[in-house]
Amino acid sequence: MQSTQSSASPIVSPADLSTHLTWQENGHTCEDEWRSERGAPVPKRVVLADDTLSADSAYRLACAGTGMLWRGDFQNARLLLQALARRCDAPKKVRRASKTHPEVAPTPQENFHLHRQAQSQRARTLSMILIQINPDRQISLRRAPDWRVAMKEAWGPAGTQGCVTSLRELLGLVGAHEWHQKGMEIPALGSAPHNRIHPSYGVFSPVRGEYIQLVADAPLPDSELAFDIGVGTGILSAVLVKRGVKRVVSTDLDPRALACAKENIKRLGLSDRVELIQTDLFPPGKAPLVVCNPPWLPARASAPIERTIYDENSAMLKGFLAGLAAHLTPTGEGWLILSDLAEHLGLRTRAELEAWIASAGLKVIGKIDTKAEHKKALDESDPLHAARAAEVTSLWRLNIA
């Protein structure tokens, strides 16, 4: 899924999410900037916490929405976060069915919404362990690591003010930095070592290899020019160039995605054949091939960083289809890469998708399907396992009707 934002989902910058956190310490009222890339609200109540706090007490505080500003050993804070995660993930008691309350199996759509609610509650609970970061991006705690490089990569250069953030978000930031450093091997790009994509923080990682392979295998209608709508890491643009497309114009609204794509394209030595443009959906002009891999699930993102997965009201999908005919050459093809997971979850029907294609003045000239290969499709304990196991990812070949 590419990292683009439709006009229905405006970009929210970290500055938009920043307010201030206040707490009492040593008889004084203290204040610092609150930073949350997920857009989490400032905890309404904050207490100081250290190594003497038990996991059970911390869990009760977290469930009540109380932030715990950590003043103990940093590594013990990580262990406490793991303990909270175990409590969040422990099996919950299920009320037995009775004559007055017979058991009714939830629909796939209800399962999806219940799963998202549970994940949202889990995220809120685990975000209540707070870490204060100095203006120079150091952490003044015992055994605290030096993560200044990772913070600079995600947040930009340090300023004159420190901040407070959740330990969970901080660990996510560092994990993204490690992914970025190591990179991901993409077989469709050829042989090592020139086949790695390096995702950046906040940009969707191309972990679903099946959709990349679809673009690598589909017959090219033309090799002169292609548009890549929602460039993300730049992976599909790179695959198209590797296949022989002479010029690719790639778009995205997210500055992070454009910076990530620019770096990857440069690493691969393809800068002279890929042009990057910051715009909503289409660049000016027409092309014989227009490719788009929009977010697959038509649901509201609960955090800005989730907009690479959730496309509220299918806004980007509809926008791509509605504008495609105006940006295709008469015999050109639009490639829509889309999973049918939304159909199995009851969030969108195949008839709706086909109606949007037809109303946009388009017709389907072919479709290439592949089964999902990710781990969750095999995990029977996953609440959405039935839908994931049935999931098919498709490349829809479209042209002007």
Per-residue pLDDT tens over the stretch 266-318: 999 999 999 999 999 999 999 999 999 999 898 888 777 788 888 889 999 99
- Average pLDDT (44-53) is 96
Q: Which is it for strands 45-49 and 28-34: parallel, antiparallel or unpaired?
A: unpaired
pLDDT tier for residue 225 given thresholds of 50, 70 and 90 = very high
CATH of 185-400, one of 3.50.50.60, 3.40.50.620, 3.90.1150.10, 3.40.50.150: 3.40.50.150
How does pLDDT run across 358-379, given as a tens digit for each residue?
A: 999 999 999 999 987 777 766 7
Predicted local distance difference test score (pLDDT) of residue 378: 66
Instruction: State yes or no: pLDDT of 16 exceeds 50.
Output: no
Beta bridge partners of 165: 131
In the predicted structure, residue 99 carries a pLDDT above the cut 70:
no
Looking at the predicted structure, is the pLDDT value of residue 239 above 80? yes
Over the chain, what is the mean pLDDT? 90
Q: In this structure, are strands 392-400 and 66-70 parallel, antiparallel, or unpaired?
A: unpaired
The rounded Cα 24 to chain-centroid distance in angstroms is 36
Average pLDDT over residues 318-339: 96
Assess contact for 117 and 125: CB atoms under 8 A.
no
What's the average model confidence in pLDDT over 130-142? 97
Q: Judge contact between 305 and 195, C-beta under 8 A.
A: no
pLDDT at residue 100, rounded to an integer? 64
For the chain, state the CA radius of gyration.
23
Alpha helix (H) residue ranges in 90-208: 108-126, 148-155, 167-182
Q: Which residue has the tokens 């995605």?
A: 257
Instruction: Specify the pLDDT at position 258.
Output: 96
Indicate the domain borders of the chain.
14-179, 185-400
Q: Is the pLDDT of residue 11 over 50?
A: no
What pLDDT shows up at residue 228?
98
State residue 12's pLDDT score: 36
160 vs 209: which has the higher pLDDT: 160
Give the pLDDT band of residue 169 (cuts 50, 70, 90): very high
| Contact between residue 215 and residue 236 where contact means Cβ atoms under 8 Å apart | yes
Q: Smallest Cα–Cα separation from 240: which of 215, 263, 222, 266?
A: 215
Residue 294 structure tokens: 């929009």
Residue 355, Cα to own-chain centre: how many angstroms? 28
Helices then strands, each counted (H, E), the chain: 13, 15
More confident residue, 230 or 372: 230
Residue 4 pLDDT more than 50? no
Q: Which pLDDT belongs to residue 93?
A: 64
Q: Is 51 left (phi over 0), alpha (psi -120 to 50) or beta?
A: alpha
Distance CA 84, CA 36 (A): 20
From CA 260, how far away is CA 233, in angstroms rounded? 6
* 394 exposure class (CB count in 10 Å sphere: 0-12, 13-18, 19+): middle
pLDDT digits (tens, 9 = 90+) for 343-356: 999 999 999 999 99
Q: Is residue 3 pLDDT above 60, yes or no?
A: no
pLDDT at residue 10, as a whole number: 33
Q: What is the mean pLDDT of residues 102-129?
A: 88
